[in-house]
């Protein structure tokens, strides 16, 4: 019984540690990109809340995005049109998450062109590191 409690506690700590690392990486990425693009935020706390809000909204919209991409993709189509369709839908959902988080936060303002650049860059990073399409090529 005591080993069971210890193992559950250690697994919980491991999950919290991994989530902290994940959110920290995203936080530092946003902080660096905002420094490069001169986006002004009041404090690190407001930026951290922005990142948490963005993650929460994007988790919901990511599922919607994948569902819309799956439903709108015909069986036979060119790779280019499939890529463009995925890019438009996924970038729009990412932009919507950024825009919504930006509108909720009064202590941070991200210009529209920066939101669009971030959403397209996030899509391209996802495509680069996505293993599904690399496995199909082999």
Among 76, 92, 27, 83, CA closest to 54 = 27
Question: What pLDDT score was predicted for residue 72?
Answer: 83
Domain boundary assignment for the chain: 41-137
The pLDDT tens digits of the residues spanning 80-89 come to: 888 888 899 9
Of the listed ranges 35-39, 48-52, 106-110, 133-137, the one predicted with least confidence = 133-137
Of the listed ranges 12-16, 22-26, 62-66, 70-74, the one predicted with least confidence = 70-74
Question: What pLDDT score was predicted for residue 74?
Answer: 76
**Is the pLDDT at 2 greater than 80, yes or no?**
no
**Is the pLDDT at 38 greater than 80, yes or no?**
yes
Instruction: Count Cα atoms within 13 angstroms, Cβ side, for 50.
Output: 26
């Amino acid at each position: 019984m005591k080993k069971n409690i210890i193992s559950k506690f250690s697994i919980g700590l491991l999950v919290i540690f991994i989530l902290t690392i994940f959110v920290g990486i995203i936080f530092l990425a946003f902080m660096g990109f905002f420094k490069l693009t001169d986006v002004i935020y009041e404090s690190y706390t407001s930026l951290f809340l922005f990142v948490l809000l963005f993650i929460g909204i994007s988790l919901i919209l990511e599922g919607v995005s994948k569902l819309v991409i799956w439903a709108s993709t015909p069986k036979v189509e060119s790779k280019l049109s499939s890529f463009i369709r995925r890019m438009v839908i996924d970038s729009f959902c990412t932009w919507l998450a950024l825009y919504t988080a930006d509108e909720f936060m009064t202590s941070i303002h991200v210009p529209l062109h920066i939101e669009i650049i971030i959403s397209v860059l996030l899509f391209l990073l996802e495509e680069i590191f996505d293993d599904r399409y690399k496995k199909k090529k082999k």
